[in-house]
Structure 1
Amino acid sequence: MADINAYAARESGGTLAPFTYDPGPIGAEEVEIRITACGLCHSDISMINNDWRASQYPLVPGHEVVGEIAEVGSSVTHLKVGQMVGVGWTSHSCQHCSPCLSGRQQRCETGTSTIAGRGGFADRIRVQHIWAVPLPDGLDAQSAGPLFCGGITVFAPFLDFDLKPTDRVGIIGIGGLGHLAVQFANAWGCEVTAFTSSMDKEAELKELGAHRIVNSRDEAAIKAERGYFDYILTTVNVSLPWALYMRALRSEGKLITVGVVPEPMAIPANALIGGQRMVAGSDTGPPEMVATMLEFCVRHDIKPMIETFPMSDCNEAIERLESGKARYRIVLENS
């Protein structure tokens, strides 16, 4: 099999440059995907910069991959050459540890992330077959890419925490994750409040499905929400006045974070004890949940708002994302 052509960082914080590697023989349970498009996520930048102290170089970023199956391993029977599929954060899982056997393969004890195994800023990629999730009819490749990480990250809490259509849901941070969370919550039937520091997004947020908008820079406005929400989903990676948001929850309400906040979250014990309020985290989802999310998106016409760049302009795309000007997800396309 021919070498894979990719873009890689060769050191922490390095710019991406052409990189070629030999993937070796395809495994019996693997598929090779010819990449059409790959989303750019803040997690890619964190890995390039080794923010999580787990990066190995050369590092090929990209974990929102969509493309056409080019080859299948000898044990793969349910996927066919030419089929359009997508891949998210995880590319391999053992299938025999407790999380895998319980249907939570994204928490595999020995799983491999897509970036760690060579990511999607490339012309092709190899992954274990279960992580190649077929695209349903009605979902285009460019829109689908960000759903495989950003989308499932904010969709999973609706299933994992049993959100109901009667719930009042607050979404903190209306960016690449939050603008999808607003759409999901609205389609789920919830009353949706968007907490944003950019009040110029108000009209746009209402079009996306927010019923109410609160200025997250206005502590008085947050205090006025006391006891209002069943769930608050925070998508940001910065510290916030957590105690105020905890007080905005109803009795037995939950604050769910999907953003990797670098500092400890300062939440007073009495904010948890009073009313048995809770704080929880959420990761991504198993392949079956990803497939469910994709069908939900098609049914309710949910798509990320995207900007596209050629794959060869990946460094310019990273600069655009780091500038904070992207609205809301960037997708790299192979010609």
Structure 2
Amino acid sequence: MKTFGYAAQSTTSPLAPFTFERRALRANDVAMDILYCGVCHSDLHTARNDWGWTTYPVVPGHEIVGRVTQVGPDVTRYKVGDHVAVGCMVDSCMHCDQCRKGEEQLCREGMTGTYSGVDRITKEPTHGGYSKHLVVREEFVLRVPDALDLSRVAPLLCAGITTYSPLRTWNVGPGSRVAVIGLGGLGHMAVKLAAGLGADVTVISRSPDKKADALSLGADHLLLSTDDKAMAGAASHFDLIIDTVPVKHDLNAYLPLLDVDGTLVIVGQVGPMAEYNTVPLLLGRRRVAGSPIGGIRETQEMLDFCAKKNILPECEMIRMDEINGAYDRMERSDVRYRFVIDMASLDTPKA
């Protein structure tokens, strides 16, 4: 299937129109028209090869909402016209211990990324959602509940599940005390989801200007990390801290805030961290952990939970041809809180 989208051709080139082939429909495949695609910081990192594993050309986008246009003969879960979604992965081995228990993101053979991955059968590069069409195996397609606003669902497929998964892993619920470091695309979803699960939620920020936003998103408190007295008063207070900061940073100020057996889970930074002191970990049996996205089953659970609780990200809609400006703004943290591309704005290339 010939399709088109926007691709980066090198580390320095802006995203530009790109025509390419989607694979022919396999027996267990779902084909869809892409309606909306979220813009994730991972898209920017991949386009610029910040992590060193990009294969060019690359069509980013792994927060995808679409409408089914065709299904293979073995597909049983979806039919033409269904509203569906695809997140950060499009395949895995499906037979290892992790895949069998619904943790495909932890596949022993490595999951196949929605973009800059390699198709497990054809060995061709995968391309993401900054495009008109997508073909995905049925097991990696998610159903979008009717109650959700289609135009705002897309960021749930990465920002949503990236923050929902640790909340579920560490059994957050009524009575849990959760802190969120950073109030960007990931952080604002962590606040909404933790509040939806019934936790007492605190946003940790360097700026008092974030208080109104934090409270409006569902937080109960703002803790100023620049206020030494307030930080000392919050010692041993939290069961879980979700750290969404996307750059190298220092954890030393935050570790004493954990209660005994508390966990600080990193979901933002991919790469080196500043050196930290182990004394608070040893003396309080505290831990530092990491968490990626969730599996397909958990992602569907998250979508259904968001529909039940009416939880959606705060989005700014953009046109496809505004993507390079959006990347520049995202680097300056000039977005509240996620960009979403209306894919109806992606024009057919001129012959």
TM-score by length of structure 2 reads: 0.91
Aligned-partner SS, 2:59: coil
How big is each residue's C-alpha offset from its partner over 1:152-202, in whole Å with a ceiling of 9 and x where there is no partner?
Answer: 000001211222321111100001011111111111111111012332221
| Aligned residue number for residue 33 of structure 1 | 32
| Aligned residue number for residue 96 of structure 1 | 95
How big is each residue's C-alpha offset from its partner over 1:114-142, in whole Å with a ceiling of 9 and x where there is no partner?
Answer: 11210000001122211110100111222
Separation of aligned partners in 1, 2:96 and 2:17: 37
How big is each residue's C-alpha offset from its partner over 1:277-307, in whole Å with a ceiling of 9 and x where there is no partner?
Answer: 1111111111111111111111111111100
| 2:259 counterpart of 1:254 | no
Are the counterparts in 2 of residues 39 and 146 from structure 1 also a CA contact under 8 Å?
Answer: yes
| Aligned residue number for residue 72 of structure 1 | 71
Separation of aligned partners in 2, 1:267 and 1:102: 34
Are the counterparts in 2 of residues 8 and 60 from structure 1 also a CA contact under 8 Å?
Answer: yes
Aligned-partner SS, 2:54: coil
**Which of the residues 250, 264, 277 maps onto 1:268?**
277
Are the counterparts in 1 of residues 68 and 82 from structure 2 also a CA contact under 8 Å?
Answer: yes
| Aligned residue number for residue 287 of structure 2 | 278
| Aligned residue number for residue 206 of structure 1 | 215
1:104 partner amino acid: E
Aligned-partner SS, 1:67: strand
Separation of aligned partners in 1, 2:309 and 2:173: 17
How big is each residue's C-alpha offset from its partner over 1:242-285, in whole Å with a ceiling of 9 and x where there is no partner?
Answer: 12211111111111110125323423222221121111111111
Separation of aligned partners in 2, 1:304 and 1:25: 34
1:12 partner amino acid: T
Are the counterparts in 2 of residues 237 and 262 from structure 1 also a CA contact under 8 Å?
Answer: no
Separation of aligned partners in 2, 1:24 and 1:149: 24
Judging changes above 3 Å, is the alpha-carbon distance between structure 1 residues 281 and 153 closer, same or farther for their aligned structure 2 residues? same
Separation of aligned partners in 1, 2:13 and 2:127: 16
2:53 partner amino acid: A
Separation of aligned partners in 2, 1:261 and 1:220: 31
1:33-182 matches, cutoff 5 A:
33-108=32-107, 109-116=109-116, 117-182=126-191
- Percent identity over the alignment is 38
Separation of aligned partners in 1, 2:16 and 2:74: 35
Aligned-partner SS, 1:243: coil
Aligned-partner SS, 2:252: helix
- Structure 1 residue runs of 5 or longer lacking an equivalent are none
Are the counterparts in 2 of residues 223 and 244 from structure 1 also a CA contact under 8 Å?
Answer: no
Higher mean displacement: 222-231 or 259-268? 259-268
Separation of aligned partners in 1, 2:227 and 2:18: 47
**Which of the residues 320, 330, 335 maps onto 2:329?**
320
2:291 partner amino acid: S
TM-score by length of structure 1 reads: 0.96
| 2:195 counterpart of 1:196 | no
Separation of aligned partners in 1, 2:258 and 2:51: 31
| Aligned residue number for residue 349 of structure 2 | none
| Aligned residue number for residue 341 of structure 2 | 332
Higher mean displacement: 281-290 or 265-274? 265-274
Aligned-partner SS, 1:122: coil
Are the counterparts in 2 of residues 13 and 50 from structure 1 also a CA contact under 8 Å?
Answer: no
2:199 partner amino acid: C
Separation of aligned partners in 1, 2:28 and 2:237: 48
2:46 partner amino acid: M
**Which of the residues 285, 289, 312 maps onto 1:303?**
312
| Aligned residue number for residue 10 of structure 2 | 11
1:236 partner amino acid: V
Judging changes above 3 Å, is the alpha-carbon distance between structure 1 residues 240 and 216 closer, same or farther for their aligned structure 2 residues? farther
Separation of aligned partners in 1, 2:282 and 2:178: 21
Separation of aligned partners in 2, 1:73 and 1:93: 19
Q: Please tell me the root mean square deviation across aligned C-alpha atoms, in Å.
A: 1.4
Judging changes above 3 Å, is the alpha-carbon distance between structure 1 residues 216 and 142 closer, same or farther for their aligned structure 2 residues? farther
Separation of aligned partners in 1, 2:132 and 2:249: 40
Higher mean displacement: 114-123 or 218-227? 218-227
